[in-house]
Amino acid sequence: MSTSVILPRRKRLSEGLTVTQKVFVRSRNGGASKIVREHYLRRDIPCLSKACKYCPKIVVPNAKDDLPTFVLSETPQVLESGIGKHYVVLDTNIVLQAIDLLENRNCFFDVIVPQTVLDEVRNQSYPVYTRLRTLCRDSDDIKRFAVYHNEFSENTYVERLPNETINDRNDRAIRKTCQWYAEHLKETGIGIILVTNDRLNKEAAIKEGEGFETKSLFEYVSVLPNADDIKESIPNFESSLGNIKDKEAKADFNYPEFYSTARVMGGLKNGALYQGNIQISEYNFLEGSISLPTFSKPVLVVGQKNINRAFNGDQVVVELLPKSEWKAPSSIALDSEHFDVNDNADVDGDGDDESNERNINGIISDVQRRLLAQDAILAQKSNKIQPTAKVVSITRRSWRQYVGQIAQNSVDLQNGATQNVFVILMDKCLPKVRIRTRRAAELLSKRIVISIDSWPTTHKYPLGHFVRDLGEVESAQAETESLLLEHDVEYRPFSKKVLECLPKEGHKWKAPENLSSPEALAKDSLLAKRRDLREKLICSIDPPGCVDIDDALHAKKLPNGNWEVGVHIADVTHFVKPGTALDAEGASRGTSVYLVDKRIDMLPMLLGTDLCSLKPYVDRFAFSVLWELDSEANIVNADFAKSVIRSREAFSYEQAQLRIDDRNQTDELTEGMRTLLRLSIKLKQKRLSAGALNLASPEVKVHMDSETSDPNEVEIKKLLATNSLVEEFMLLANISVARKIYESFPQTAMLRRHASPPSTNFETLNEMLQTRKGMSISLESSKALADSLDRCVDPTDPYFNTLVRIMSTRCMMAAQYFYSGAYSYSDFRHYGLAVDIYTHFTSPIRRFCDIVAHRQLAGAIGYESLDLSHRDKNKMDMICKNINRRHRNAQFAGRASIEYYVGQVMRNNETVETGYVIKVLNNGIVVLVPKFGVEGLIRSENLTKDTNSVEYDEVNYKLSFIQSGTDIRRDIFVFDKVEVQLKSVLDPITSKRKAELLLK
Cα gap 460→184, rounded to integer Å: 50
SS3 858: helix
Of 763, 765, 774, the closest CA to residue 808 belongs to 765
Provide the pLDDT for residue 398: 87
Cα gap 454→696, rounded to integer Å: 42
Cβ-based neighbour number of residue 543 at 10 Å: 12
Letter string b/e over residues 678-717, b meaning 16 or more CB atoms within 10 A of that residue's CB = ebbeebbeebbeebbbebbebebebeeeeeeeebeebeee
pLDDT tens-place string over residues 284-315: 888 999 988 888 788 999 988 999 999 999 99
pLDDT greater than 70 at residue 831? yes
Per-residue pLDDT averaged across 115-133, rounded? 91
CA end-to-end distance (rounded Å), the chain: 72
Phi, psi torsion values for 456, nearest 5 degrees: -65, 160
CA separation, residue 928 to residues 886, 902, 916 (Å): 27, 14, 5
Phi, psi torsion values for 333, nearest 5 degrees: -90, 125
Provide the pLDDT for residue 23: 59
Helix (H) or strand (E) holding 347: none
Give the long-range contacts of residues 488-494, CB within 8 A, separation 24 or more. 488/400, 488/885, 488/889, 489/593, 489/600, 489/889, 489/890, 489/893, 490/588, 490/589, 490/600, 491/593, 491/600, 494/585, 494/604
Provide the pLDDT for residue 7: 46
Most confident of 36-50, 246-260, 357-371: 36-50
Provide the pLDDT for residue 375: 56
Per-residue pLDDT averaged across 446-451, rounded? 93
Q: What is the mean pLDDT of the chain?
A: 86
Of the ranges 146-155, 695-704, 720-729, which one carries the lowest mean pLDDT score?
Answer: 695-704
Provide the pLDDT for residue 355: 39
Cβ-based neighbour number of residue 309 at 10 Å: 23
Provide the pLDDT for residue 987: 75
| pLDDT band for position 742 (cuts 50, 70, 90) | very high
CB 287 within 8 A of CB 300: yes
Say which amino acid occupies 503: P
Phi, psi torsion values for 830, nearest 5 degrees: -100, 105
Of the ranges 279-283, 698-702, 897-901, which one carries the lowest mean pLDDT score?
Answer: 698-702
CB 99 within 8 A of CB 131: yes
Q: In sequence order, what E strands does 285-372 have?
A: 287-290, 299-302, 315-320
DSSP string, 484-533: HHHTT---SPPPHHHHTTS-TTGGG----S-TT-HHHHHH-GGGGGSEE-
Tell me the CB-side half-sphere exposure of residue 759, using CA atoms within 13 A.
8
| pLDDT band for position 334 (cuts 50, 70, 90) | confident
Of 425, 932, 843, 402, the closest CA to residue 594 belongs to 843
Provide the pLDDT for residue 270: 87
Radius of gyration of the chain (CA): 31
Per-residue pLDDT averaged across 557-570, rounded? 96
| pLDDT band for position 387 (cuts 50, 70, 90) | confident
pTM: 0.82
**DSSP structural state of residue 754:** B
pLDDT tens-place string over residues 134-158: 899 888 889 999 999 999 998 999 9
Percent of the chain with pLDDT over 70: 88
Letter string b/e over residues 357-381, b meaning 16 or more CB atoms within 10 A of that residue's CB = ebbbbbbeeeebeebbebbeebbee
Provide the pLDDT for residue 292: 87
Provide the pLDDT for residue 242: 44
Per-residue pLDDT averaged across 621-641, rounded? 96
pLDDT tens-place string over residues 192-243: 999 999 989 998 888 876 789 999 999 999 999 988 888 888 887 643 444 4
CB 771 within 8 A of CB 955: yes
Per-residue pLDDT averaged across 4-30, rounded? 56
CB 812 within 8 A of CB 722: no
Q: Which residue has the higher pLDDT, 947 or 791?
A: 791
Provide the pLDDT for residue 380: 46
Provide the pLDDT for residue 245: 46
Helix (H) or strand (E) holding 890: helix 873-906
CB 406 within 8 A of CB 971: no
Give just the sign of the alpha carbon dihedral 792, 793, 799, 802: positive
Most confident of 224-228, 709-713, 970-974, 991-995: 970-974
Q: Which residue has the higher pLDDT, 435 or 965?
A: 435
CB 664 within 8 A of CB 678: no
Q: Is 977 exposed, middle or buried (0-12, 13-18, 19+ CB in 10 A)?
A: middle
CB 627 within 8 A of CB 635: yes
Helix (H) or strand (E) holding 145: strand 144-148
Provide the pLDDT for residue 786: 92
Percent of the chain with pLDDT over 90: 57
Of 989, 946, 992, the closest CA to residue 339 belongs to 989
Per-residue pLDDT averaged across 435-451, rounded? 90
pLDDT greater than 50 at residue 6? no
pLDDT greater than 70 at residue 354? no
Provide the pLDDT for residue 475: 87
| pLDDT band for position 552 (cuts 50, 70, 90) | very high
pLDDT greater than 50 at residue 365? no
pLDDT tens-place string over residues 242-268: 444 444 445 456 899 999 999 999 999
Cα gap 126→133, rounded to integer Å: 10
pLDDT greater than 50 at residue 128? yes
Phi, psi torsion values for 142, nearest 5 degrees: -105, -50
Per-residue pLDDT averaged across 373-394, rounded? 71
Per-residue pLDDT averaged across 612-620, rounded? 95
Provide the pLDDT for residue 369: 43
| pLDDT band for position 184 (cuts 50, 70, 90) | very high
Provide the pLDDT for residue 249: 46
Per-residue pLDDT averaged across 176-197, rounded? 93
Of 523, 512, 498, the closest CA to residue 577 belongs to 498
Provide the pLDDT for residue 124: 87
pLDDT greater than 50 at residue 282? yes
CA separation, residue 309 to residues 259, 334, 405, 427 (Å): 14, 17, 21, 16
Phi, psi torsion values for 380, nearest 5 degrees: -65, -35
Residue 897 gets the label, from left (phi > 0), alpha (psi -120 to 50) or beta, of: alpha
Per-residue pLDDT averaged across 724-751, rounded? 96
The structural domains of the chain, ordered by start, are: 62-233 (3.40.50.1010), 261-346+370-473 (2.40.50.690), 496-750+832-894 (no CATH), 756-812 (no CATH), 910-999 (2.40.50.140)
Cβ-based neighbour number of residue 294 at 10 Å: 10
Of the ranges 170-179, 621-630, 976-985, which one carries the lowest mean pLDDT score?
Answer: 976-985
CB 72 within 8 A of CB 147: no
Phi, psi torsion values for 682, nearest 5 degrees: -70, -40
Provide the pLDDT for residue 2: 45
Q: Which residue has the higher pLDDT, 233 or 727?
A: 727
pLDDT greater than 90 at residue 82? no
pLDDT greater than 70 at residue 478? yes
- Nearest 5°: the CA angle 307, 991, 462 is 30
